[in-house]
Amino acid sequence: MTLRQILVPLSAIVLFGVFWEFLVWVNGWPNYVMASPSDLPPAYARYWELFFVMGWQTLWRTVVGLLLAIVFGVFLGMVMGFSRTMRDALYPLLVGFNAIPKATVVPIVALLFVGDHNFNTILIAFMISFFPIAVSVSIGLSTLEPEYRDILASLGASKTTIFWKIALPKTLPEFFGALKVAVTLAFIGTNLMEIVSPHGRGLGALFDSGKTNSDYPLMFAVLIALALMGIVLYYVVVALEKIFAGWAERSPSY
């Protein structure tokens, strides 16, 4: 990673913070209406232990849900990518399922698995993030040029060899593009369960506590903590993309 790739995102974050602080100052908003960046350090200092414990709870459940989404999404994408019949059968079901607001699913899941807080949270993170992965893998495989498959098949290559040598590498750029989206969706799913069905765990529960006590700096501190965790996980995906699909990256002409 070059110095430019580090400084540009950091500069954008700093400028956003300056604009946020200026907006609050110009409008004269008190911190019980709109907290400013300068209100956040005291909140972190006061509740640092809760941020550490509950942040870890949110992070590991999000990562587990995302990993399950990757496994299931890749499998489903392969099924739809290699079979037009399965693609025609499953796409309407997936679109319909994805169109359902997950906030309405959270109470149902919480009732089905009462007391299984970790399982509930991981399940929602999984349910909300596997869709883009499945669709991207399906599109990548279904648009594979038939000439490549025919040539390799005529040379005696098995379907497994064709998949590993041609289909999988071609799908990697689409897969990592979808994974960047799935990362943010997984965090949304985790926090939906933590807030809508509170069980005293995770940053969603800390946010809900701040709302109950009208501690707006704490609420905004939780939001920024979630954003930072999402950014870190996003750049983990970017690093993996450079390792496994760096060949697909085109250098800009300017």
Question: Model-level pTM?
Answer: 0.86
- Residue 43: which of 167, 196, 221 has the closest Cα? 221
What is the span of the domain harbouring residue 4? 1-30
Residuewise pLDDT in 10s, the chain (254 residues): 677 777 888 888 899 999 999 999 998 888 778 888 888 999 999 999 999 999 999 999 999 999 999 999 989 988 888 888 988 898 899 889 888 888 888 888 888 887 788 899 999 999 999 999 998 888 887 777 777 667 777 777 776 777 777 777 878 888 898 999 999 999 998 988 888 876 778 898 899 888 888 888 999 999 999 999 999 999 899 888 888 877 666 555 44
**How many angstroms separate the CA atoms of 2 and 15, rounded?**
21
CATH code assigned at 73: 1.10.3720.10
Shared domain check, 201 and 122: yes
Asked whether residue 144 is domain-assigned, the answer is yes
23 & 51 share domain = no
Cα–Cα nearest to 144, from 168, 175, 178, 179: 168
User: Would you call 58 helix, strand, or coil by DSSP?
Assistant: helix
16 and 96 co-located in one domain: no
Residues 92 and 204 reside in one and the same domain: yes
Is 156 a domain residue?
yes
Structural domains of the chain, count? 2
Work out the number of other CB atoms within 10 angstroms of the CB of residue 46.
14
Residues 51 and 73 in one domain: yes
pLDDT tens, residue by residue, 69-101: 999 998 998 888 888 898 889 889 988 988 888
Residues 17 and 118 in one domain: no
Q: Which of 217, 175, 209 is nearest to 54 (CA)?
A: 209
Domain shared by 84 and 107, yes or no:
yes
| In a domain? residue 35 | no
Q: Is residue 36 part of a domain?
A: no
Residue 253 lies in a domain: no
The candidate with the shortest Cα–Cα distance to 23, out of 8, 12, 33, 11, is: 33
8 Å CB contact between 196 and 128: no
Strand, coil or helix: 122:
helix
What is the C-alpha to C-alpha distance for residues 245 and 197, in angstroms, rounded to an integer? Answer: 39
> Is 57 in the same domain as 21?
no
Question: Is there a single domain that holds both residue 141 and residue 187?
Answer: yes
